[in-house]
Homo-oligomer: A and B are copies of this chain.
């Protein structure tokens, strides 16, 4: 049935614990402890840890434990630089692909959800819809490797985004940006889709980094 191996379980559990902060950034955790906590042997935990290391979420340091990688303001800049380029490329490619309106339904829906969430002042719902928007945008770009890289980078900034979610100004500009990108894609205007999204990401990055540096977060 559920082809759910212990490695899979360890992966989801560890990811969840990392994203939720239950495993704090910078904290170390021995394989044995995690295994005991997850109710399995060291082997699957170890394999999961190696995968998470490959995704940049933890560092595996012999005899010092599995460390949850903190994300500094500089890390954020580096990550957003990558996200900016790759997502913008995806937006351009999506525009070139000549999708029909129905192909873009999911994208449209997530924009509507963001608008609604903003209206209702529900920031969590907004963040979720924003996530869906970006994921779908990248999917429409049609480059599976790019989508994977973007997913990995987004995971790395997930905690920081969650932390700053309630400190940032209301993302209304963000929503109009999304609308514009959507329209550019629907109109098959690749350059416009690219440029708008690029600017959108740059602004988001600046806002986030400023927040982090202003509040002196040293590793989120």
Contact = CB atoms under 8 A, between A and B. Distances in A.
A134 B50 CA distance: 28
Contacts of A58: none
A145 interface: yes
Contact of A145 (B82, B89, B146): B82
A144 interface: yes
A50 B82 CA distance: 25
A81 B86 CA distance: 9
Give the number of copies in the complex. 2
A131 interface: no
A143 interface: yes
Interface in A30-69: 46-47, 50-51, 54-56
Contact of A78 (B79, B81, B146): B146
A168 to B, nearest CB: 23
Contacts of A47: 46-47, 50
A80 to B, nearest CB: 10
Contacts of A78: 143-146
A103 interface: no
B56 A55 contact: no
A146 B51 contact: no
Interface of A: 46-47, 50-51, 54-56, 75, 78-79, 81-82, 85-86, 89, 93, 143-146, 149, 153
